[in-house]
Each structure stands twice: as C-alpha cells, then as structure tokens.
Chain A
C-alpha cells in the first residue's frame, strides 16, 4: 500500500523518502534525521489528531465493524428486529444465480480489462518514449478519459455502439462485417463494457509506464548495444522489460483493483442486463442493499468484495517482498 507512483523528483522541494521509493520500493524507510523536537508535549499532538480520529471512527472504523456484524444478520432496512444467522447469508450466495452471475461477470470483466489496458498502455508508452515529437500532447490525449465524467462518456459510447445508428456499426457495415447489438446482447455486453473499461484505464496505466520508462538509466541501452542488441525489439526484451518489472506488478494490481470496482458504466448503460449478463459485484451490493433493502445480505456480499480487494493487495505486498531488484 505504501507504493506511490508517478512521483517526479522535481515534484517536491526537499527530497522526500517517497521520491526515491516511487515505483521502486514500497518500504518507506524512516528518514535519518527524525524529528524528536517537541518537548514531550503529547497533549498538543493528540489535540492535532483529534478531529481526524473522530472522523475516522465515525466514517470508517465504526461503519466497517458494522458491516462485519451486519453480514451475519438477516437485517432488512426498516425492520424492527433482526436475527443472527451465522453464515446464512454466505450459504444463500451459493444458490443465488444473480450473485454467481455477478462474480463471473466481474472476473471476466477484470480479465478482459487488465491485460488489454496494460498491454496497450505499454505499447503506447514505448512508442511515445521512442521519439521526441509531441510527448506532452500524446500523454494528454490518452489521459483525457481518466478525468472525464464516466456517466457522460458512457452515454457517448452508447451512441457510438448503437446497433442501428452508431458509427461503429456503420463502419462495420461498410466493410461488410457483422453488426452486433453491442450493449443489448448477452454475448457482447461484457466485451463492450470491457472495451469501455480499457478505454478508461489505458491513460492511467500509460502514465505509470512512462514514469517507469524514464527511470531506466540510458547507459543500460548503450551497454545492451555493446552486447549485440541492435534492434529496438531485442533492446526491449533485454533492458526495458526486466527493468519495468516492479512498475508492471504495481500496474497489474492497480488495474485489477480499479476494474473490480466497475459500477458507473454498468449502472448507466445496462443496469446489469440483459438477463444478468452484465451484473457486477458493486451493482449487486447496491441493488440488494438499496433496492431490495436486504442489508444483511448486501453486507455479506460487501465482505466478499472486501476480501477480494484485500487479497489483491496481499498478493502485491508478497510479490514485492520477493521480487528481484534491478538498478
């Protein structure tokens, strides 16, 4: 969790511990000169942290504990009482077709979005880095989707992908290809949403890769040339690819945790349909909780979601601990 990416050294006035570790090492080490300046006045320190502690307890800690508790009850919003039902909610999930569709679709979506958005971002980053023309321009263009309102852009995609009046199908008709009902057929809907997801995530990953590429020492390329790597291709596999290892890992995890939270596009375009073909985890949580008001069940699904996110982060820390260090 301590990894912070894309942190240019020019970014802060003093070299922070973070500036060295950005992208390289997640272990933020204590600076050598550490402040032991205040004359044992703990009162003021607690006073300074008090507002944050109160807000933390009210907005994060207590709600988190409450979700943990809710997940083991049959509480429904508005009900006067509830019962502790142990793992009942989790048992219900096993037989719940909406939930299993939701898990399946979320996994398919992540497995579609992550490799594609990472692969495309890496290609684009290498292309941008290979020349001097228009660097800032390309970066800005590809980053644009990250700052655009997802709901609005999803609406634009809905027009582009419209089965009869959309430009995408108009183009396909011109070349004589089939014209699927992108968002309306259960065969295509996850692919279409996944494509929009790739479109949203490429710019983000691209910027992370650009930071990683800039950090590779130029001498390594010169050295690889002496070793006989003449083509750009062999230089990529000999130098760029291994040197990007740590960045790559970080990008994989971050893309997975971003794409597992897919909600806006689904809610805007398909509402989980047709026939649950685009039901995803966050939407199921939302639906069970705030549409059917089954808070206990919704909380249980929330826990599943949390465990998956925590699992991804655990993988990241584990792998980073073991990873080979270059440079």
Chain B
C-alpha cells in the first residue's frame, strides 16, 4: 500500500490536488490581485499574472493609509501579554492541582471544569462594564486582562504534570528547592511540549480574534491586525481590491509563515486544544 507505483496513485493525487486548489484559491488570488493595477482587477479576467505590475502602488498605498506595523506590533503585544499571564497564573495552579494534596482541591478543579464550558463571548457584557468603570477602555489592559485566566491552560498543564514522576519532585525537595522554584525550574521545563502547544494555540486564537477587540477598542493606534483590516476596508470603501489584498496579505503573513516553519507543532497545538475556540 505504501509503495504503490505512481501511475496507480495518480487518481488519488489528482483528487487531492483539486481540493488543494480550492483551499488555496483565496491565497493565490490574494497574492495575484495585490500586485495588479486597479483597471486590470476590474477586467475580471482569470489570469493571475498582471500585464503591468502595481506592487509598489498597492503596498505603498496600504502603508501610507494605515499603520500596518503598528497593528502587527499591537497584535504581538496583546498575544504575548495574554500568553505571559496565562502561563504565570495557570502553571502554579496546575502544579498544585496535580501534585499537592490539599483540602478544597476537588472544588477548585470543579470550577476549572465549569470554566471550560463557558465560551468567552458569554462574559463580554459584564467585562465591558467593569473595564468601563475602571476607565480602561482603549488600552492594552482591556485587550489582555479578560484572558489572563485560562482554565484550559490549567486543565492541560494539570494533565501533563500528573505524568511527571513524583521522584523527580521529591529529589528537588531533598535538594532544598522550594515549591515555587520546583514549579518553574523542574516541572515546567519537563512539560515544554505542552507549553509549546498551548502557546501556539493561544497566540493563534488571539491573533485572529475580532469579537473582543471590536468591543473595547475605538482608537486606531491600538487596533489589532484583524481590526486594522476592517478599518482599511471602510476607509477604502472596499473597492480597491489591489490595496485591500496587499493589506490582507501583510497581516496574514506573520502567522502563516510561522505555521509553515513549524507545521507539526502548530497542528498539534491547535487540534489538541480544539475545545476552546
């Protein structure tokens, strides 16, 4: 089955190629249109190569109209800010739930499971009220704070930490390490695959999120990449497709490139954490 001759494998490859073409179509045309001048875009031909290149015009227009780099930097600050606090809060809690025996542990874990059931969009209204009360609308805090407690991270790390041999932790205790340094210097390094997977999941989810940034951000200089595209669409009235595709490509590229460089890790990270969307 593995070493079927190419000729017999062709029907299978043809079907897969057809499906791949449909999946890749928006990317192909995104790249093609982003270098086409407007009059060629409106000719509605199926050709992908422009007769006259408009790369400089289209990308130049994007960079002149919206601060793409600011959006990308905002995206990075928000994603890594969220990730930092998620790890900071979840890892010690997960260690306590996995390896320490204390009264109330089952109760805490019960709340973790409860939290897993609640989609984050559910809590948007009260969080908005709270953030408004504190005068924190239009700030990085507003973008980061609501996501700092990831019950999913606690759940995931707890599962991983349980598999770490107790002897390892006991040995560290005998060496005189405190519980805090055990968490960060023994337990976490031994669960790096889980941490990587979670990091990828978390960054992809928040890089792509639109629902929450749309609620708390009105000021352009705090726009995330997703909001930036939306803003550019309204400025451009959505008809200059060359520039629009150039903008779309610029903000899609960072994650797609990261994905292409570390496919296996991305796929593991996102699918295993698939329950939180």
Show the binding face of A for B, using Cβ within 8 Å.
1, 3-8, 11-18, 22, 28, 31, 33-38, 40-42, 44-46, 48-49, 51-53, 55-56, 58-64, 66-67, 70, 77, 120, 124, 127-128, 130-134, 136, 138-153, 155-160, 162, 164-167, 169-171, 174, 199, 202-204, 207-208, 211, 254, 257-258, 261, 263-264, 267-268, 282, 285-286, 289-290, 295, 298-299, 302, 305-306, 309-310, 313
Contacts and interface: CB of A to CB of B under 8 A. Distances in A.
A59 B149 contact: yes
A144 B24 contact: yes
A263 B270 contact: no
B127 interface: yes
A104 B159 CA distance: 39
28 contacts: A4-B159, A8-B268, A14-B163, A28-B159, A45-B100, A48-B180, A49-B96, A55-B89, A56-B111, A120-B19, A124-B19, A138-B16, A141-B20, A143-B263, A147-B259, A152-B226, A152-B247, A152-B249, A156-B30, A160-B26, A164-B44, A171-B46, A202-B23, A207-B267, A208-B271, A254-B274, A282-B121, A309-B119
Contacts of A41: 100
Interface of B: 1-4, 6, 9, 12-13, 15-16, 19-20, 22-27, 29-30, 33, 41-46, 85, 88-90, 92-93, 95-105, 108, 111, 113, 115-119, 121-130, 145-149, 151, 154, 156, 159-160, 162-166, 169-170, 173, 179-180, 183, 190-191, 193-194, 197, 204, 207-208, 210-211, 214-215, 225-226, 229-230, 233, 238, 241, 244-245, 247-249, 251-252, 255-256, 258-260, 263-264, 266-268, 270-275, 277
Contacts of A160: 25-26, 29
Contacts of A150: 208, 210, 226
A60 B183 contact: no
A17 B162 contact: yes
B100 A38 contact: yes
A286 B101 contact: no
Contacts of B191: 12
Nearest to A169: B44
A289 B44 CA distance: 40
B85 to A, nearest CB: 8
A16 B13 contact: no
A309 B230 CA distance: 28
B93 A147 contact: no
A67 B126 contact: yes
Contact of A60 (B123, B179, B260, B277): B123
B115 A60 contact: yes
Given A35-B100, A204-B270, A258-B277, A77 B129 contact: yes
A239 to B, nearest CB: 14
A174 to B, nearest CB: 8
B interface majority secondary structure: helix
A313 B268 CA distance: 22
Contacts, number: 355
A52 B93 contact: yes
Contacts of A138: 16, 20
A305 B118 contact: no
Nearest to A253: B275
Contacts of B29: 156, 159-160, 167
Contacts of B43: 165
A36 B230 CA distance: 53
